[in-house]
């Protein structure tokens, strides 16, 4: 008889037990609140690790609120690491990951006492949409070790405070993402289809990727375009960079730098990776005191062959790919 | 259907000895076997059904040798448990210094409700058995230990405490040890606590292993002791030392 599906739903309270005092030597470990090895756990209640004693500094007796080693945890509730007996401050991790690939989905309203620690190899953090718009604080400081951070389709999230993407980490916006504080680091911010990223704060990740193969409107709103040092890649048709508060009426592209001009005077610049020319860009007023930057497809001569004709997509990167396809043999 | 409204001091075997596979224990009824390590209710070869508004206890393990406490209810072949009363695993037996050798075989408290293919609805209390107040390593039992089952909890489920008067305390029981089991919790599920002077690890609140996943024994050392308690029937002193 098989009844179980490996699904755990918690709307109540789950708590690990307190560790033993250990007669003044090494205290016993506190109990994990929930240990997950596969399946799916959905928490809208409270999960907390037990408390522990600490007689010497090397004696880490505290455990995590949730330990996950494979599977998915979706939470809109409270998850708390263990606390030292007699003290109110939480020291244990809120969520700790094992070696198996695991996913933590945070919904609006979720709270954590203690840090969230991925294992830096294969764990995914999802910013969910089940409870509407959410705010995430501590990315890169109290939330670390994720190789992929993904916003759910059509979700709305705000990054507050200082956020950092470590090298090898990609944050994929898939709805509306407001960078209200500062977002930096050696990682990548990726825009997928039909997405708006609003950088009201400082945006200085190593790379901003518009997604070479992603189709659909993608808009990057830069409230402080002069402070952006990220290298932007795959900027192509249907993409827009809104340069808030920056008036420009001309561009010049050379050596990977797009210089924005106001009556032939440089007023800003962006680093763009790709085989562009100045003619690939157009500027229009954003109707809010700033300027919209868009990509202009290069005019391509119609290619004729014995098998019909095709038109090259307006994408310099795609142009490069197509250059390897022998003409006159149909291509795709 | 069999109804118990008095105090029964022997294990009730469903489907045997005049007991139906459907059992009701009223608020006035209790099952508390006196034989060391005996379970309160044991299912038969076919699924059983237990409705409890009274008290069902597993018996304590022997006070002289390493022996686990009895489970409160054990349904190896599935069934349904509806609990509005109290179900408690038995207290563990006592382990003390071995006369020879270095491998310890401590005992554990009994599980509150154990089984495979069980549908459990709890609005009362289910507790794992505590360890005896011992010198070494005896641990608490899980509140529930279920495989391929479905659990709805509106009451309290808790693992048994670990009690030791020396340094080497055993692990407390997990609140719920689950494998391929669905859990819907609206109440309280708690791991047992390490009590006394020992260094017993606190029990995990819920230890859940999903479909086609690896054993919890892969949990790294930094969370090992509390998380790695599914197969605790043979805990060694080495494992205890590693977790300290």
Geometric angle at alpha carbon A24, from B62 and B207, rounded to 5°: 55
> Quick check: A233 pLDDT over 80?
yes
A4/B148 Cβ within 8 A = yes
Please check whether residues A207 and A73 belong to one and the same domain: no
Q: Is A46 on the interface with B (CB under 8 A)?
A: no
| Smallest CA–CA distance from B240 into chain A, residue | A28
Using CA atoms, how far apart are residues A208 and A170, in angstroms rounded to an integer? 10
Instruction: Note whether ipTM > 0.85 here.
Output: no
| Smallest CA–CA distance from A1 into chain B, residue | B117
Beta-sheet strands, E only, within A109-201:
111-113, 116-117, 124-127, 134-137, 143-144, 148-151, 156-160, 162-164, 170-173, 176-179, 182-191, 195-199
* A-chain residues near B195 (CB < 8 A): 20
A36/B226 Cβ within 8 A = no
Please check whether residues A187 and A102 belong to one and the same domain: no
Q: Show which of residues 261-320 on chain A sit within 8 Å of chain B, judged by CB atoms.
A: none
> pLDDT per residue over B113-123, tens digit each?
999 999 999 99
pLDDT at A28: 83
- For B130-168, the DSSP string reads PPPSBSS--BPPPSEEEES-EEEESSEEEPPPEEESSS-
| Smallest CA–CA distance from B116 into chain A, residue | A1
Please check whether residues A206 and A76 belong to one and the same domain: no
* A-chain residues near B142 (CB < 8 A): none
Please give the average per-residue pLDDT across A287-315, as a whole number: 65
> Quick check: A35 pLDDT over 90?
yes
**Of A29, A98, A100, Cβ closest to residue B243:** A29
pLDDT at B90: 94
Please give the average per-residue pLDDT across A305-320, as a whole number: 41
Please check whether residues A157 and A283 belong to one and the same domain: yes
Please report, for residues A32, A104, B156, B167, B199, the alpha-carbon distance to residue A15 in angstroms, rounded to integers and kept in the order given: 7, 19, 11, 24, 19
pLDDT at B100: 54
A7/B193 Cβ within 8 A = no
pTM: 0.85
Please give the average per-residue pLDDT across A264-287, as a whole number: 94
A154: which 2 tokens?
A: 């059509």
> pLDDT per residue over A167-183, tens digit each?
999 999 999 999 999 99
Using CA atoms, how far apart are residues B181 and B176, in angstroms rounded to an integer? 10
Please check whether residues A151 and A273 belong to one and the same domain: yes
Using CA atoms, how far apart are residues A268 and A278, in angstroms rounded to an integer? 15
Q: Show which of residues 174-213 on chain B sit within 8 Å of chain A, judged by CB atoms.
A: 174-175, 178-213
B150 and B186 Cβ atoms separated by less than 8 Å: no
Closest CA to A39 of A10, A73, A62: A73
Give the single-character DSSP code of A316: H
> Quick check: A5 pLDDT over 80?
no
Coil, strand or helix: which one is A106?
strand
Parent domain of B26: 2-243
Residue A229 forms part of a structural domain = yes
A103 and A110 Cβ atoms separated by less than 8 Å: no
Chain A to chain B, count of Cβ pairs less than 8 Å apart?
A: 262
**Of A18, A20, A39, Cβ closest to residue B208:** A39
Residue A318 forms part of a structural domain = no
> Quick check: A87 pLDDT over 60?
yes
Please check whether residues A191 and A104 belong to one and the same domain: no
pLDDT at B99: 54
More confident residue, A59 or B180: B180
Please check whether residues A109 and A151 belong to one and the same domain: no
More confident residue, A201 or B189: B189
CB atoms within 10 A of CB A60: 15
Residue A91 forms part of a structural domain = yes
B47/A45 Cβ within 8 A = no
Please check whether residues A94 and A151 belong to one and the same domain: no
How many distinct structural domains can be found in chain B?
A: 1
* B-chain residues near A27 (CB < 8 A): 199
**Of A11, A30, A100, Cβ closest to residue B185:** A11
Give chain B's residues under pLDDT 50.
211-244
Please check whether residues A102 and A165 belong to one and the same domain: no
Please check whether residues A114 and A151 belong to one and the same domain: no
Please give the average per-residue pLDDT across A295-322, as a whole number: 51
* A-chain residues near B136 (CB < 8 A): none
Residue A134 forms part of a structural domain = no
Please check whether residues A158 and A52 belong to one and the same domain: no
Please check whether residues A219 and A266 belong to one and the same domain: yes
Please give the average per-residue pLDDT across A172-199, as a whole number: 94
pLDDT at A226: 82
**Of B146, B191, B214, Cβ closest to residue A16:** B191
Give the single-character DSSP code of A23: G
Parent domain of A74: 1-122
How many distinct structural domains can be found in chain A?
A: 2
Q: Show which of residues 71-110 on chain A sit within 8 Å of chain B, judged by CB atoms.
A: 71, 96, 98-100
Max mean pLDDT among A2-16, A71-85, A307-321 falls in A71-85
Residue A304 forms part of a structural domain = no
> pLDDT per residue over A102-160, tens digit each?
999 999 999 999 999 999 999 999 999 999 999 999 999 999 999 999 999 999 999 99
> Quick check: A312 pLDDT over 50?
no
pLDDT at A21: 80
Please give the average per-residue pLDDT across A250-263, as a whole number: 95
pLDDT at B239: 31
A20/B223 Cβ within 8 A = no
| Smallest CA–CA distance from B119 into chain A, residue | A3
* B-chain residues near A50 (CB < 8 A): 191, 193, 202-203, 226
């Amino acid at each position: 008889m098989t009844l179980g599906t490996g699904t755990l739903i918690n709307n109540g309270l789950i708590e690990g037990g307190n560790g033993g005092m250990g007669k003044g030597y090494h205290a016993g470990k506190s109990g994990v609140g929930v240990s997950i090895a596969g399946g799916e756990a959905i928490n809208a209640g409270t999960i907390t690790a037990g408390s522990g004693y600490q007689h010497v500094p090397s004696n880490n007796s505290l455990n995590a609120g949730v330990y996950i080693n494979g599977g998915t945890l979706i939470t809109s509730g409270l998850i708390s690491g263990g606390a030292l007996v007699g003290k109110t401050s939480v020291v244990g991790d809120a969520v700790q990951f094992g070696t198996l690939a695991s996913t933590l989905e945070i919904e609006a309203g979720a709270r954590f006492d203690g840090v969230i620690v991925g294992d830096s190899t294969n764990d995914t953090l999802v910013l969910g949409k089940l409870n509407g718009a959410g705010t995430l604080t501590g990315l890169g400081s109290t939330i670390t070790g994720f190789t992929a951070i993904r916003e759910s389709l059509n979700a709305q999230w705000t990054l507050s405070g200082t956020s950092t993407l470590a090298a090898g980490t990609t944050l994929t916006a898939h709805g509306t993402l407001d960078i209200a504080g500062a977002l930096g680091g050696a990682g990548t911010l990726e825009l997928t289809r039909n997405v708006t990223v609003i950088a009201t704060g400082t945006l200085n990740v190593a790379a901003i990727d518009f997604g070479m193969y992603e189709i659909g409107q993608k808009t990057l709103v830069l409230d402080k375009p002069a402070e952006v040092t990220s290298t932007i890649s795959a900027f192509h048709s249907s993409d827009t960079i809104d340069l808030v508060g920056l008036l420009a009426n001309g561009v010049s592209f050379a050596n990977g730098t797009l210089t924005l001009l106001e009556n032939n005077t440089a007023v800003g610049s962006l680093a763009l990776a790709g085989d562009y020319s100045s003619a690939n860009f157009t500027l229009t007023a954003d109707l809010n005191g700033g300027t919209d930057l868009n990509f202009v497809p290069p005019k391509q001569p119609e290619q004729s062959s014995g098998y019909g004709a095709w038109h090259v997509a307006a994408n310099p990167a795609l142009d490069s790919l197509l250059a390897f396809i022998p003409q006159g043999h149909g291509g795709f | 259907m069999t109804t118990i409204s008095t105090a029964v001091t022997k294990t009730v075997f469903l489907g045997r000895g005049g007991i139906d596979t459907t059992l009701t224990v009223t608020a006035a009824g209790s099952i508390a076997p006196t034989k060391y390590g005996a379970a309160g209710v044991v299912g038969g070869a076919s699924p059983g059904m237990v409705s409890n508004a009274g008290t069902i206890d597993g018996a304590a393990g022997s006070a002289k040798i390493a022996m686990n406490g009895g489970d409160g209810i054990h349904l190896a072949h599935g069934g349904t448990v509806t609990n509005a009363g109290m179900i408690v695993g038995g207290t563990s037996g006592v382990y003390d210094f071995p006369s020879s050798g270095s491998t310890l075989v401590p005992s554990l408290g009994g599980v509150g409700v154990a089984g495979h293919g069980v549908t459990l609805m709890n609005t009362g209390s289910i507790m794992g058995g505590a360890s005896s107040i011992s010198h070494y390593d005896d641990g608490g039992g899980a509140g529930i230990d279920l495989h391929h089952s479905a659990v709805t909890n509106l009451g309290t489920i808790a693992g048994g405490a670990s009690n030791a008067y020396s340094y080497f305390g055993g692990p407390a029981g997990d609140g719920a040890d689950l494998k391929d089991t669905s859990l819907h919790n609206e109440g309280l599920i708690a791991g047992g606590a390490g009590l006394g002077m020992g260094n017993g690890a606190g029990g995990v609140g819920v230890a859940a292993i999903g479909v086609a996943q690896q054993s919890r024994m892969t949990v790294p050392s930094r969370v090992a002791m509390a998380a790695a308690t599914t197969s605790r029937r043979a805990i060694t002193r080495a494992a205890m030392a590693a977790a300290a």
